[in-house]
Amino acid sequence: MTAPQVVVHRDKELMAQAAAARLITKIVDAQAARGSASVVLTGGRNGNALLAALAASPARDAVDWARLDLWWGDERFLPSGDPERNETQAREALLDAVPVDPARVHAMPPSDGPLGNDADAAAEAYARELAEAAGPEDHGPVPSFDVLMLGVGPDTHVASLFPGHPGVRETERTVVGVHGSPKPPPTRISLTLPAIRAAREVWLLAAGEDKAGAVAIALSGPGEIQAPAAGAHGRARTLWLLDRTAAAKLPPQLYPPSSP
């Protein structure tokens, strides 16, 4: 398990821009090293702000968009094109503006797709797609994503893994259907913690004073059932990208010395 590293930015706008620059560099490095890159996107305001900052950055042209696989950490189980779907929001923020290969944009199934309105069947289908994309070097049923991003909820949820819910207890499956989510909509699809922990790097994004309690709790070593964000680790790196207000309740030993 990698010890979390914390980076604090002045405000959420700067955080989105710095994270977008960081992501561009990561993708370019992965493409140089391995020929292609894989990134897991998150929904939420911070994830979308990062994508919009990336779209606005001239450095976005350094990315070879055709050699990038995009996955999602979770999805709201709604009809295709619904404005509340994380996929729809990511397309609007970035994907419609860059030459991604549609075959490498791995959206989670919608509720009106060929699998019907069955979130568990949709989760199984996504798990199969991940397994097919995994190679022998991945040593498991999901690819070793280069970067997996997660928004953090005020209750410490990540993806659609909520405190105490069945999804956060899953140890075998890589993707689950989520029913009765405390945050609307009630039906969702989510990667599980074992799938999240297959990533080389996990980046947790949190901004705003309503996140300060969740950030402090998750970084203080609680169990992942009570605080799912505490169970989100990358194999090589676990990075918490915060704005000053979200970092406000961190204990002094976790607050990085050079922070604003």
Ligand X SMILES: O=C(O)[C@H](O)[C@@H](O)[C@H](O)[C@H](O)COP(=O)(O)O
Question: Is 43 near ligand X (CB under 6 A)?
Answer: yes
Question: Is 249 near ligand X (CB under 6 A)?
Answer: no
Q: Residue 188 or 197: which CB sits closer to ligand X?
A: 188
Q: Residue 38 or 156: which CB sits closer to ligand X?
A: 156
Two tokens at 232?
């989100």
Q: How far is 227 from 66, CA to CA, in rounded Å?
A: 37
Question: Is 74 near ligand X (CB under 6 A)?
Answer: yes
Burial class (CB in 10 A: 0-12, 13-18, 19+), 115: middle
Question: Is 151 near ligand X (CB under 6 A)?
Answer: yes
Question: Is 42 near ligand X (CB under 6 A)?
Answer: yes
Print the binding letters for residues 101-140 with ligand X: x by CB under 6 A, - otherwise. ----------------------------------------
Q: Residue 142 or 161: which CB sits closer to ligand X?
A: 161
Cite the beta strand spans of the chain per DSSP E: 4-9, 37-41, 68-72, 74-76, 147-151, 175-178, 188-191, 201-206, 237-243
Question: Is 153 near ligand X (CB under 6 A)?
Answer: yes
Question: Is 45 near ligand X (CB under 6 A)?
Answer: yes
Q: How far is 78 from 206, CA to CA, in rounded Å?
A: 25
Q: Residue 30 or 211: which CB sits closer to ligand X?
A: 211
Q: Residue 44 or 141: which CB sits closer to ligand X?
A: 44
Minimum CB separation of residue 136 from ligand X in Å reads 32
Residue 94 contacts by C-beta under 8 Å, 6 or more apart in sequence?
A: 51, 52, 54, 55
Minimum CB separation of residue 184 from ligand X in Å reads 8
Is there a contact between 210 and 250 (Cβ–Cβ < 8 Å)?
no
Cα 156 to chain centroid distance, Å, stands at 14
Tell me which residues in 164-183 interact with ligand X (CB under 6 A).
183
Minimum CB separation of residue 187 from ligand X in Å reads 11
Question: Is 86 near ligand X (CB under 6 A)?
Answer: yes
Q: How far apart are the first and last CA of the chain?
A: 28
Sheet holding 237-243, edge to edge: 4-9, 237-243, 201-206, 147-151, 37-41, 68-72
Q: Residue 110 or 151: which CB sits closer to ligand X?
A: 151
Q: For residue 104, which of 63, 155, 68 has the smallest C-alpha distance?
A: 68
Q: Residue 30 or 245: which CB sits closer to ligand X?
A: 245
Q: How far is 9 from 244, CA to CA, in rounded Å?
A: 6
Q: Which residues form the interface with ligand X (CB under 6 A)? A: 42-47, 74, 76, 86, 151-153, 157, 160, 183
